[in-house]
């Protein structure tokens, strides 16, 4: 039976893209799928470095971004993981670690993990996961990251020491640098070549819609006895219409005089696609000294009907709602919530519902900047 460790944790992760120019590499840190759910996106969850010698340790960092417009986001993270390798433990889920992220702010947690140093445990990798939950929404993301343990180099070894992207994720049109490090532990010079094969990925089995097939790229190497060689390549999503959420890079290492690859390494790059908004809110005020009315239209830009809706927004001034129509209005300080009535609870795809209210103000009557329907930001 596996022994178990119960540890309190802190961490970070990110995703992938296309092909362009030569540079340097690392061994695989998993990158999370990007997106904005419940007002939070995972910008990073990764080990740095992503591989260490046996007995070594690495820092794992989690970065969350508030992508919910003008609303503060609260929630918690739960960390867990497991080692691969004979006689090594499982890291049981730790107690939830709470977070609060201000509008447009970010939240970072870092913890150190490594070889547990237990008798009989010889780890190959440590796979860590974190469940990110948002208050009132529930779990919104579960990114993963992997730490690889590298045994000591022997005189017969010629190997990939590192293949890694930095940064681990980029938006379309930006590039990340993939770095490959080869190590020659033998007593003689080793020559050969590397072939870099990149493939844009998404949730489906084939190429993502609008994405091109990427041509392989090759680089020769010559490494003296006991030395290392580093090669880099910049990659990204090369086409604006490409809807890939990742790029899988495979590097085949060939040695002179040997037909088949002597080593194969892979790394993932995350591509952060902009999040489409499923709703739109227009706010049309009519003002006079000390008072105003506002007509508000909620449009469903999604593909599924909205069955029951609650519109939330925050006044930037000292406005007070006195009465409204086509919705039930409540106000707590500057925050206003408008909920559907029985006859207008459903908004079909492409359809709209119009509501309105009258209010008063004393020193400021600027319009709200952000609107959310059922907790999702609308534009």
SS (H, E, C) the chain: CCCEEECCCCCEECCCCCCCEEEECCCCCCCCCCCCECCEEEEEEEEECCEEECCCEEEEEEEEEECCCCCCEEEEEEEEEEEECCCCCEEECCCCEEEEECCCCEEEEEEEEECCCCCCCCCCEEEEEEEEEECCCEEEECCEEEEEEECCCCCCCEEEEEEEEECCEECCCCEEEEEEEEEECCCCCEEEEEEEEEEEECCCCCCCCCCCCCCCEEEEEEECCCCEEEEEEEEECCCCCCCCCEEEEEEEEEECCCCCCCEEEEEEEEECCCCCCCEEEEEEEEEECCEEEEEEEEEECCCCCEECCEEEEECCCCCEEEEEECCEEEEECCEEEEECCHHHCEECCCCEEEEEEEEECCCCCCCCCCEEECCEEEC
- Average of pLDDT values for 186-192? 91
Q: Which of 123-137, 159-173, 299-313 has the lowest mean pLDDT?
A: 159-173
pLDDT of residue 35: 62
Beta-carbon contacts of residue 333 (< 8 Å; ≥ 6 apart)? none
What count of Cα atoms within 13 Å lies in the side-chain half-sphere of residue 234? Answer: 6
Please give the mean pLDDT across all residues of the chain.
82
pLDDT of residue 236: 85
pLDDT of residue 155: 67
pLDDT of residue 357: 96
CATH 2.60.40.10 in the chain, residue ranges? 4-271
pLDDT of residue 140: 85
Rounded CA-CA distance 369/360 in Å is: 18
What band does 276 get if pLDDT is binned at 50, 70 and 90?
Answer: low
Q: Could you tell me which residue, 12 or 52, shows the higher pLDDT?
A: 52
Residue 197 has pLDDT above 90, yes or no: yes
The CATH class that applies to domain 4-271 reads: mainly beta
Identify which of 10-14, 204-208, 242-246, 279-283 has the greatest average pLDDT.
Answer: 279-283
The CATH class that applies to domain 279-378 reads: mainly beta
pTM of the model: 0.51
pLDDT tens per residue, range 2-39: 333 333 222 222 222 222 333 333 334 444 434 677 78
- The answer to whether 140 and 37 are in contact (CB under 8 A) is yes
pLDDT tens per residue, range 300-355: 987 788 999 999 888 888 999 999 999 999 998 888 999 999 999 999 988 999 99
Residue 136 has pLDDT above 70, yes or no: yes
- Average of pLDDT values for 150-178? 81
pLDDT tens per residue, range 237-254: 877 778 788 899 999 999
Question: Would you tell me how many other CB atoms lie within 10 Å of the CB of residue 24?
Answer: 18
Beta-carbon contacts of residue 332 (< 8 Å; ≥ 6 apart)? none
- Average of pLDDT values for 96-100? 91
Q: Could you tell me which residue, 326 or 369, shows the higher pLDDT?
A: 326
């Amino acid at each position: 039976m596996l022994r178990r460790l119960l540890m309190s944790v802190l961490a970070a992760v990110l995703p992938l893209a296309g092909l362009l120019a030569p540079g340097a590499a690392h061994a695989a840190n998993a990158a999370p799928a990007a997106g904005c759910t419940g007002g939070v996106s995972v910008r990073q969850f990764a080990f740095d470095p992503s591989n260490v010698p046996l007995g070594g340790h690495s820092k794992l960092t989690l970065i969350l971004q508030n992508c919910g417009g003008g609303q503060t986001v609260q929630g918690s993270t739960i960390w867990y993981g497991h080692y691969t390798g004979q006689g090594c433990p499982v890291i049981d889920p730790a107690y939830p670690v709470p977070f609060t992220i201000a509008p447009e702010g970010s939240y970072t947690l870092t913890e150190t993990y490594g070889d547990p140093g237990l008798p009989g445990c010889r780890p190959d990798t440590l796979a860590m996961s974190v469940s990110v939950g948002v208050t009132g929404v529930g779990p919104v993301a579960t990114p993963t990251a992997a730490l690889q343990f590298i045994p000591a180099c022997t005189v017969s070894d010629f190997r990939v020491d590192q293949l890694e992207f930095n940064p681990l994720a980029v938006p379309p049109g930006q590039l990340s640098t993939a770095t490959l490090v080869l190590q020659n532990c033998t007593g003689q010079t080793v020559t050969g070549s590397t072939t870099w094969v990149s493939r844009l990925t998404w949730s489906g089995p084939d190429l993502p819609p609008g994405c091109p097939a990427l041509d392989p790229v090759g680089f020769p190497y010559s490494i003296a006895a006991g030395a290392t060689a580093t090669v880099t390549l910049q990659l990204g999503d090369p086409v604006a219409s490409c809807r890939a959420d990742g790029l899988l890079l495979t590097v085949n290492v060939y040695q002179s005089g040997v037909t088949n690859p002597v080593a194969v390494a892979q790394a993932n790059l995350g591509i952060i696609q902009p999040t489409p908004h499923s709703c739109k809110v227009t706010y049309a005020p009519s003002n006079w000294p000390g008072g105003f009315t506002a007509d508000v239209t909620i449009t469903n830009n999604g593909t599924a009907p909205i069955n029951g809706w609650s519109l939330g927004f925050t006044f930037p001034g000292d406005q007070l709602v006195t009465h409204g129509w086509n919705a039930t209005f409540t106000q707590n300080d500057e925050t206003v919530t408008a909920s559907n009535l029985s006859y207008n609870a459903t908004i079909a795809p492409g359809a709209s519902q119009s509501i309105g209210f009258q209010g008063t103000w004393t020193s400021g009557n600027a319009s709200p900047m952000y609107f959310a329907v059922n907790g999702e930001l609308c534009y």
